[in-house]
Amino acid sequence: MNTASPLFSQPIAYRDPGNILRQLRHLPGLRFLDSAQRETSLGRYSFLMADPFSTLIVREGQVYRDEVLLEMDPWSALKTTLDAFSFPADPTGPPFRGGAVGYLGYELNHTVEDLPTLPADHPEIPDLWIDLYDVVAVFDHVQQAATIYSSGFPEQDPRARTSRAIQRAGWLAGYLQPDGKDNSCENPSPALSWQSNFSREAYLRQVERIRTWIADGDIFQANFSQRFTAELPDGFDPLSFYEHARQINAAPFGAYFQYPGFTIASMSPERFLEVADRRVETRPIKGTRPRHGDVQEDLRLANELRNSVKDRSENTMIVDLLRNDLSKVCIPGSVQVPVLCGLESYASVHHLVSVVEGRLRPGLHAVDAIRAAFPGGSITGAPKKRAMEIIQEVEQIPRHVYCGSMGYWGFDGRMDSNIAIRTVLLTRQQAWFQSGGGIVYLSDAAEEFQESLDKAARIFTAFQP
């Protein structure tokens, strides 16, 4: 590990990064961390990168780095990989200037708890895929400025590293120059025919089963979802879909990850975990109402959510769970709840959002923090292990990326990640996503079914011309 060589930076012209994706789409490892909703403090930065120098994949319980099998668990492999490269933190600079970018699939829950496994229905989707990037374009939407940061990794010799850093910054800058072409959004496809893995009646029955487990004292809450699947027409373009989706579903934790054989498009509003300057923050969402075109009705729905005993109870349960998760890795007494059940409004829904934070204990890594809290409490339930067992029993399918996490782990020790909700997986033949909500004893099955449809509605719309 060598930190003597400086991090090279190169200012470039600011443009909306969502309008640049087409210029990079043919590059390997294209990743876009997209803060498309910019009117909040969470939406200041977006990050664009391609052509990673190393890859970590978990498939069928086996961990591979650059196609070499590693005899270690995924979390140790990620820590070891990150620890091979580092540069000093800059508290005045952007939060990410190079490092690991990728996703943690929900089924990594088997690495933190002893849980039964489900047959893989999409074996082409690994449980984890994380790439290491030495060069990244950072877009500051507040300052309307853009900068390329280049570390020169994996070179370790200072002179070789500096030379590579300059060369790679110039390489990426060349792709980000205006190309004179019309990069505007295209209509993604004809309207698709969606099928759920549950009928309305079957969904309601499973909600009642969960309420019975709650009444029996097994759990207090469980997150339950249905999967929507559609066949894609020949020539369907995932990038056109995402360009359209990010316009109508703007979110602070969006992402577009392009892989061989599949693509992930996320419009997530929810932060899972951030680590910055040893401060750990999670922002669970629990409680939802649809937006309405009429201003007065929209305000009524927001106030109804803000005052809902059921939704506030659901949110508070998860806050307690996450306080416990963070206490495993934070300095005793440092875990606090500065915001409890705050109202946040997005393009299609209102949410209740809380903030839980703490100080990471000395000697622990950002990866230790995410392992302690994975999967997020807002998309599992409480108690977490039993809730995950019940989720598996009622859903009967792997979640894959859904309710896992997408984000970055910087070479300077910072990290930020989303909860992968409002997230679509696309192969050459199919698109699918899941939508659901937290079930508590006070839940009404029909209302829970409708809530899952309300959350899904804007994704359906994003697929329409």
Mean pLDDT of 349-359: 94
Residues 6+ apart with CB under 8 A from 319: 284, 337, 340, 354, 356
Give percent above pLDDT 90 in the chain. 85
Please give the pLDDT value at position 230. 97
**CB–CB of 51/74 below 8 Å?**
no
> Mind giving me the DSSP string for 186-205?
PP--SPP--EESS-HHHHHH
- Is 455 among the residues known to form the active site? no
Domain annotation covers residue 1 = no
Distance CA 42, CA 46 (A): 10
- Is the pLDDT confidence value at 345 over 90? no
Domain annotation covers residue 426 = yes
Domain annotation covers residue 2 = no
Mean pLDDT of 3-21: 86
Distance CA 60, CA 74 (A): 12
- Is the pLDDT confidence value at 187 over 80? no
Burial class of residue 345 (count of CB atoms within 10 Å of its CB; 0-12, 13-18, 19+): middle
Domain annotation covers residue 361 = yes
Catalytic residue among 155, 270, 395, 448: 270
Distance CA 109, CA 214 (A): 22
DSSP 328: T
Domain annotation covers residue 3 = no
- Is the pLDDT confidence value at 279 over 70? yes
- Is the pLDDT confidence value at 188 over 60? no
Domain annotation covers residue 25 = yes
Please give the pLDDT value at position 189. 64
- Is 286 among the residues known to form the active site? yes
Catalytic residue among 274, 286, 357, 384: 286
Please give the pLDDT value at position 62. 96
Whichever domain contains 252, its CATH number is 3.60.120.10
Domain annotation covers residue 127 = yes
- Is the pLDDT confidence value at 288 over 60? yes
Distance CA 130, CA 87 (A): 19
Please give the pLDDT value at position 185. 59
- In this predicted model, what pLDDT tens digit does every residue of 99-153 receive, in sequence order? 999 999 999 999 999 998 888 899 999 999 999 999 999 999 999 999 999 999 9
How many structural domains comprise the chain?
1
- In this predicted model, what pLDDT tens digit does every residue of 361-403 receive, in sequence order? 999 999 999 999 999 999 999 999 999 999 999 999 999 999 9
What domain range is 106 assigned to?
A: 8-462
- In this predicted model, what pLDDT tens digit does every residue of 206-236 receive, in sequence order? 999 999 999 999 999 999 999 999 999 998 9
